[in-house]
Structure 1
Amino acid sequence: MSFLETDEQKQLRAAVTGLATKYNYRDYAAAKSRANQPLDELWSAAGELGFIGVNLPEEYGGGGAGIYELALVQEELSAQGSGLLLLVVSPAICGTIIAKYGTDEQKRSWLPRIADGSAKMAFGITEPDAGSNSHQITTTARRDGDDWILNGRKVFISGVDQAAAVLIVARTEDAKTGKLQPALFIVPTDTPGFEKTRQEMDIIEPDNQFTLFLDDVRVPGTALVGREDAALAQLFAGLNPERIMGAAMAIGIGRYALDRAVEYARERQVWKSPIGAHQGIAHPLAQVKIELELAKVMMQKAAVLYDAGDDFGAAEAANMAKYAAAEASIKALDQAIQTHGGSGLTRDVGLAAMLAAARIARVAPVSREMILNFVAQHSLGLPRSY
């Protein structure tokens, strides 16, 4: 990989920054987050400029680039305090899976709309009793003639109220062995038997989380994405981009917090010089800068490996990037608040409100403990602990 971005990547970064500056946290995203309203205006503008589908195939209206470029978009939006959570889900997870494994009709129907942002697709995998163990998913799909019947429950599903459909992870039964195998289905949100209930979250963010109930939800055979007996591999094809995008969002948030802290440390004068001249302020901020840059390098490595088709290398790097970015982001926000002193807890500054949202990165889309399990087992070759 090269640490020199191409002219196209530099131009994309500058263009996204220009857009994000217009929809920055102070002037736009803060109020929307407090009102629990999605960043619809930013999403529409990003779609019109081609940012949302930058990773999707050109023949379906995308930019023909890769996850590197989509992560770049997410990082720069987040660096202005206006990251788009559904960017992780709709083009990165669902768009990637459909582009790789979907039928021609699924691609024609969904990818252009995902690419221009006119339709969003949510992703339904998490269940109350399965947690991080995707092998224990209990949502089932059984054949009924040419159709499929889905039953089950999902939790912590982001943005269902904004989505035209949800890519549901279910399990089909192998009649020969009796074993349940994972499969992926595109389920429109207006399908009979599909119900959503908003979950009450104790954090300030623009996007809602939902519990989904699927009660004899009937979908046509064309709703199945890829092969019904190969969905585990298809599922993992979307999880590496999810981790990379989560890392990009966390890094961007960390950059936003650090910029606010540095801005304040340069201006705030208590005695004879700005507080940023004191090592007690400067050194912790310098350490945050180092840790954010280290996390960013791992995120870029993960994206390059993924775009090059190195699935295992990408999985290792994506997990490490997500872990490092979460820790660096939280530390950056905490230190930015500390730099501001008491004013760091005020509504006007707005940093404290972001801390809980940033904390999500330690538990979603995969917890840091499960990342440590992955690294211990696959990178270090230690016995599996679970």
Structure 2
Amino acid sequence: MSFIESDVQQELRASVAKLADRYNYLDYVLPKARNTEPLTELWNEAGKLGFLGVNLPEEYGGGAGIYELALVQEELAAKGAGLLLAVVSPAICGTVIAKYGTEQQRRRWLPGLGDGSTIMAFAITEPDAGSNSHHITTTARREGDSWVLNGQKIFISGVDQADAVLVVARTEDHRTGRLRPALFIVPTNSPHFVAQPMEMDITAPDRQFTLFLDEVRLPDEALLGEQDAALLQLFAGLNPERILGAAIAVGTGRYALARAVEYANERAVWKAPIGAHQGLSHPLAQIKVELEMAKLMMQKAAVLYDSGDDDGAGEAANMAKYAAAEASIRALDQAIQTYGGSGLTREHGLSAMLATARIARVAPVSREMILNFVAQHSLGLPKSY
């Protein structure tokens, strides 16, 4: 792993940052978020420029890796324009389909996921399962050459923008009678598929949904890849999810720190910029250190994932997501403190961003579950749950 990015990677950063300048937080994202409107214009342009599918195989418009997709996400978020659905559509769904989908499924879905013309949501969370995927109750049964799905999902992002949802369900093993996980591609216009918006108390452009699947009938090819490989398929998407989540958090922290530093240099009290006082300069310097450490862990996780080291990537991705979430929240809190009362005004939008950034401690996996993972898998302590 090199700490010096290639010329291509540096050019990609510069190009994404230039795009994000035009779709920045205060002028574009925040007004959209306050009206709960998706970032459609940014999404479409990012797709046309080839940014959204850089992690996909070259024949489908990509040719790079999760490192480059995380780079894209970080630079967008550094201008306050992170794309939540980039975590879901190309990172989770695109990765899983590219690795495990049939040739027909890859041809059908990957070109659109790569250029952004097709969006796929991801549905795993359930009301009574939470972080325990072993208790998922959404089931799929065989009926002739069809699959029939029944169940409920919650906190599913962007379903109103999606053409399909990758649904985690369970099928019965007729040899043992046990239920095993399986993944299904469910078009959002399927009969008996109902998406109900959830009332969220945050300022965000993407809506959350509860999904109801009541005898949703799907063709045989809706089953993603091989039925018996479902766990491998699922975990193939979860590590990129954590890495891209860390990228949003790192970028968001960079945005908050930049705004705080700008204000601390401009705002003068007692004949000196407030940034001259250690009561503000030291906390901001500490934020800088913490963001850089989180970014390094995110880069390590991406490099390990792209190199095929799944175990190493799993540990690093969880650590990166934990560190980045904590650093971004602290960055926003300190930015608000730096602004004083102005930090709580609608003009600057920092308090709205803090509430949204707070999600990173909870989703896609809570910090407590990450600590459980590190305790058990990294430290060898007994399983606690």
Q: Identify the TM-score tier after normalising by the shorter chain.
A: over 0.9
1:293-304 matches, within 5 Å, as 293-304=292-303
- Equivalent-residue separation in structure 2 for 1:341 and 1:199 (angstroms): 33
Q: SS state of the match for residue 166, structure 1?
A: strand
- Equivalent-residue separation in structure 2 for 1:168 and 1:352 (angstroms): 34
- Equivalent-residue separation in structure 2 for 1:304 and 1:134 (angstroms): 27
Name the counterpart of 2:380.
Answer: 381
- Equivalent-residue separation in structure 1 for 2:319 and 2:63 (angstroms): 26
Name the counterpart of 1:286.
Answer: 285
Q: What is the deviation of 1:63?
A: 1.9
What code does the residue aligned with 1:300 have?
Q
Q: SS state of the match for residue 131, structure 1?
A: coil
Name the counterpart of 1:368.
Answer: 367
Name the counterpart of 1:33.
Answer: 33
Q: What is the deviation of 1:176?
A: 1.1
Name the counterpart of 1:115.
Answer: 114
- Equivalent-residue separation in structure 1 for 2:48 and 2:175 (angstroms): 49
Q: SS state of the match for residue 21, structure 2?
A: helix
1:139 equivalent in alignment to 2:146: no
Name the counterpart of 1:21.
Answer: 21
Q: What is the deviation of 1:58?
A: 1.4
- Equivalent-residue separation in structure 1 for 2:339 and 2:226 (angstroms): 54
1:254-333 matches, within 5 Å, as 254-333=253-332
What code does the residue aligned with 2:9 have?
Q
Q: What is the deviation of 1:380?
A: 0.1
- Equivalent-residue separation in structure 1 for 2:99 and 2:21 (angstroms): 34
Q: SS state of the match for residue 382, structure 1?
A: coil
The superposition leaves residues 250-285 of structure 1 with CA deviations (integer Å, 9 ceiling, x where unpaired) of 010000000000000000001111000000010000
Q: What is the deviation of 1:351?
A: 0.3
Q: What is the deviation of 1:233?
A: 1.0
Q: SS state of the match for residue 152, structure 1?
A: strand
Q: SS state of the match for residue 51, structure 1?
A: coil
- Equivalent-residue separation in structure 2 for 1:336 and 1:236 (angstroms): 36
The superposition leaves residues 134-193 of structure 1 with CA deviations (integer Å, 9 ceiling, x where unpaired) of 111110000000110000000000000000000000000001101100000000000001
- Equivalent-residue separation in structure 2 for 1:158 and 1:147 (angstroms): 27
1:36-47 matches, within 5 Å, as 36-47=36-47
Name the counterpart of 1:58.
Answer: 58
- Equivalent-residue separation in structure 1 for 2:69 and 2:59 (angstroms): 17
Name the counterpart of 2:11.
Answer: 11
- Equivalent-residue separation in structure 2 for 1:95 and 1:141 (angstroms): 22
Q: What is the deviation of 1:127?
A: 0.4
What code does the residue aligned with 2:313 have?
A
What code does the residue aligned with 2:215 have?
D
In structure 1, runs of 5+ residues without a counterpart are none
- Equivalent-residue separation in structure 2 for 1:51 and 1:175 (angstroms): 44
- Equivalent-residue separation in structure 2 for 1:40 and 1:79 (angstroms): 19
Name the counterpart of 1:70.
Answer: 69
- Equivalent-residue separation in structure 2 for 1:226 and 1:311 (angstroms): 19
Q: What is the deviation of 1:82?
A: 0.6
Q: What is the deviation of 1:349?
A: 1.0
Name the counterpart of 2:81.
Answer: 82
What code does the residue aligned with 1:302 have?
A
The superposition leaves residues 84-111 of structure 1 with CA deviations (integer Å, 9 ceiling, x where unpaired) of 0000000000000000000111101100
- Equivalent-residue separation in structure 1 for 2:152 and 2:351 (angstroms): 33
1:343-358 matches, within 5 Å, as 343-358=342-357
Q: SS state of the match for residue 359, structure 2?
A: helix
- Equivalent-residue separation in structure 2 for 1:110 and 1:177 (angstroms): 34
Q: SS state of the match for residue 143, structure 1?
A: strand
Q: SS state of the match for residue 79, structure 2?
A: coil
Q: SS state of the match for residue 217, structure 2?
A: strand
The superposition leaves residues 106-139 of structure 1 with CA deviations (integer Å, 9 ceiling, x where unpaired) of 1011000000000100001000100001111110
The superposition leaves residues 213-253 of structure 1 with CA deviations (integer Å, 9 ceiling, x where unpaired) of 00000000001111112101110000000000000000100
- Equivalent-residue separation in structure 2 for 1:110 and 1:44 (angstroms): 17
What code does the residue aligned with 1:356 have?
A
- Equivalent-residue separation in structure 1 for 2:123 and 2:108 (angstroms): 20
What code does the residue aligned with 1:165 have?
A
- Equivalent-residue separation in structure 2 for 1:102 and 1:56 (angstroms): 13
Moved over 4 A (4+): none
TM-score by length of 1: 0.99
- Equivalent-residue separation in structure 1 for 2:151 and 2:314 (angstroms): 29
1:165-184 matches, within 5 Å, as 165-184=164-183
Name the counterpart of 1:152.
Answer: 151
- Equivalent-residue separation in structure 2 for 1:10 and 1:254 (angstroms): 20
- Equivalent-residue separation in structure 1 for 2:18 and 2:234 (angstroms): 34
Q: SS state of the match for residue 185, structure 2?
A: strand
Q: SS state of the match for residue 227, structure 2?
A: coil
Q: SS state of the match for residue 377, structure 1?
A: helix
- Equivalent-residue separation in structure 2 for 1:152 and 1:52 (angstroms): 31
TM-score by length of 2: 1.00
Matched residues, number: 385
